[in-house]
A = this chain, B = another copy of it.
Amino acid sequence: MIKLITILTSNVKRINVFSQAKYSTTFLPQFSSEKYDVKRKKFGVLNSTDVDYFKSVLSEDRVLTEESDVLPFNIDWIKNCRGQSQLVLKPKTTEEVSQILSYCNEKHLAICPQGGNTGLVGGSVPVFDEIVLNFGLMNNIISLDDISGALVCEAGCVLENLDNYVRDHNLIMPLDLGAKGSCQIGGNVSTNAGGLRLLRYGNLHGSVLGLEAVKADGTVVNCLRTLKKDNTGYHLKHLFIGSEGTLGVVTKVAIHCPVLPKSVSLGYFGVESFENVLKLYQNAKSSLGEILSAFEMADNDSISATLDSFKLANPIAEYPFYVLLETHGSNEAHDNEKLSRFLTQGMERGLILDGTVTSELTKMKNIWHIRESIAGAGLAGGYVFKYDVSLPLSRYYALVHTLRERFSHPARVYGYGHVGDGNIHINVIVPEYSKEITAKLEPFIFEEVAKVGGSISAEHGIGFRKPQFIHYSKDKTALNLMKDLKKSMDPNGILNPYKVLPDVVT
């Protein structure tokens, strides 16, 4: 039965699964260096003179050296990676960041820049004794232009806080992630975070108006412009968007915020097959056009695991596939009419078996909560291998079938993601981590992706976990150019070592 309930809403806040699933110190993962057989590179070794210097730059309380204080900064959110850093620095200003980097560059001390530490490829935690440069205290909003929608803020601002702030000014942030309650805008920009509404509002290369970054040698590069159009020389900001802190650390961001939609609706549907999910997507593009803001899918296993893990209730009965569809529009009556037509057609054609459409805030929150909780499902009960790939839509779900054939019980394989962007997340859950299972998964999964011209990392990045596989998606000529850029911008290689760049280009 379809229930169509509509109210006007101007402020959608949602519960954040990332705050529920924070790592627990009772379980300490293996050191990344041992788990993945990595050798320390020839960087300087921290000594007490260095620590004294950092204390002279920052106040003492912003220099963490106690093992128990440092520990949380060494472990990533999914408890997959663990570094051995002995020092966390918490700058409050760009000048402090500049002084720290300048010093580290001179002494060849390696740095691991860290935002909200919600990354999934080990990019935000150290591998060995890199100094953690944490941006949590650089969290000031600098300015907001209500008319142009240009927001300027420091890198450590939490995405959800920014979204709440701009909503009060009739705007929204152009990106939305499950991790919004913890992730920081500097990390979002550095990793080119994608998320739930890229389909509508585009990627960060389009939304970021300007930024300020600090190079390895401490040079502050000021590209903090707020103009929509600015063709004056090289478009340098893009060097720092998605390079995961290896070319420079982002300290300030100017970003374009779209207008808060006057009307928001959410549909959640049960669908028989992935083929029908695709047909429904084609219908949505045609019928909903410019108001379509998200088109997400999850298979039955994803939803079941999520409902089990977090004791949630499914608002509709059980189906092989689920579609979550959102609209953002400027006219409630028009949006409802478009949605009704889409629904009627979808049901008549048998594409929608059951579903609910709502504009009621609480109901929308509950449905989004299920979708956003999938990422954290299964983390408590076993070890989760997480993959995040782009594939041609015709091959979008085939990889899940292939992996299910390759892994039998007790392994569980499920797929969910952003259909509109050709981006699927695949979780493989096993009782515990083993190198044998890893070897069976990797590079197999990347080879399968490469065969159909996909991307081995759609939005999560390369981080620590994937440099050795980057060649499955990046041409040798491109990898060589990456190396040239790294050499030019960070000749001592102190910024986020062991990440992104492969040791050897083959």
Contacts and interface: CB of A to CB of B under 8 A. Distances in A.
Interface of A: 145, 147-148, 191-192, 194, 198, 202-203, 205-207, 215, 219-223, 225-236, 238-239, 241-243, 247, 259, 261-262, 282, 285-291, 328-331, 334, 337-338, 390, 392-394, 418, 421-423, 453-462, 466, 470, 473-475, 477-482, 484-485, 487-489, 500-501
A326 to B, nearest CB: 13
Nearest to A290: B290
Contacts of A215: 481
20 contacts: A145-B392, A148-B422, A192-B235, A222-B477, A223-B475, A226-B453, A227-B455, A228-B422, A229-B390, A229-B422, A230-B390, A231-B242, A232-B456, A232-B466, A233-B462, A234-B481, A259-B285, A259-B286, A290-B291, A331-B337
Contacts of A489: 481, 484
Given A206-B202, A223-B475, A262-B289, A392 B148 contact: yes
A243 B232 contact: no
A235 B234 contact: no
Contacts of A481: 215, 221, 234, 236, 489
Given A229-B455, A478-B222, A330 B422 contact: no
Given A229-B458, A285-B259, A455-B232, A220 B477 contact: yes
Assembly of this chain: how many copies?
A: 2
B328 A231 contact: no
Nearest to A208: B205
Nearest to A149: B285
A239 B229 contact: no
A241 B243 CA distance: 17
A236 B482 contact: yes
A473 to B, nearest CB: 4
Nearest to A223: B478
A225 to B, nearest CB: 7
Given A227-B390, A242-B235, A331 B289 contact: yes
A191 B231 contact: yes
A423 B230 CA distance: 9
A448 to B, nearest CB: 15
Contacts of A462: 231-233
Contacts of A227: 390, 422, 453-455, 458
A242 B234 contact: yes
A259 B393 CA distance: 17
Given A194-B229, A243-B234, A459-B231, A282 B147 contact: yes
Given A147-B393, A230-B457, A289-B331, 6 more contacts: A145-B392, A203-B206, A205-B235, A226-B453, A227-B458, A233-B500
Contacts of A236: 478, 481-482
Contact of A479 (B145, B233, B291, B454): B233
The 10 closest A-B pairs by CB, nearest first: A206-B206, A289-B330, A238-B238, A230-B455, A229-B458, A232-B473, A222-B475, A488-B488, A334-B334, A227-B390
A286 B330 contact: yes
Nearest to A199: B228
